[in-house]
Amino acid sequence: MKRILFVCLGNICRSPMAEFLLRDMAASQGLAAQISVDSAGTSGWHDGEDMHVGTAQILDALHIDHSGFHSSKVKASDFEHFDYIIAMDGDNLQTLEKQFGHHPAKMFVVTDLVPELGYHGVPDPYFTQNFQETQTLLQAACQVLLQRF
């Protein structure tokens, strides 16, 4: 079982979208028993809150159940618990590295999986309002990630 934690700033837009996209993709490819997926934020600003409506709309349009989600902050125990801690952008990765140190095989930016797309991180749709762009980038990266299992 591989355990994956997706991390963004507030854990309401990008990381929950990645969590539910990967979980759904793994299930549809018969890999659900091999992968455990969760998400968290570096800030804790939205602890206990539901995901952003834009993320929920994307997941609803894809018929992906996201019930029961509650935002949470990265915990000290996450480094030992997860095999991969995947940041949504360079700022998130820097924050994680301050907490856990530099471990490029375990912690990296999600778009590192799809360098051909030309992105250095997933733009935050909280600010851009482009949740479709987020979905496109995360689906491509999650597909590459699944190929590793």
User: Is 14 known to be catalytic?
Assistant: yes
User: Is 8 known to be catalytic?
Assistant: yes
CA–CA separation, 13 and 51 (whole Å) = 6
State the catalytic residue, choosing from 24, 38, 89, 124. Answer: 124
User: Is 142 known to be catalytic?
Assistant: no
- Helix residue ranges, H only, 29-100: 53-61, 78-81, 90-100
State the catalytic residue, choosing from 14, 23, 78, 142. Answer: 14
CA–CA separation, 60 and 21 (whole Å) = 11
Query: What is the DSSP-derived secondary structure letter of residue 88?
Result: S
Active site (catalytic) residues: 8, 14, 124
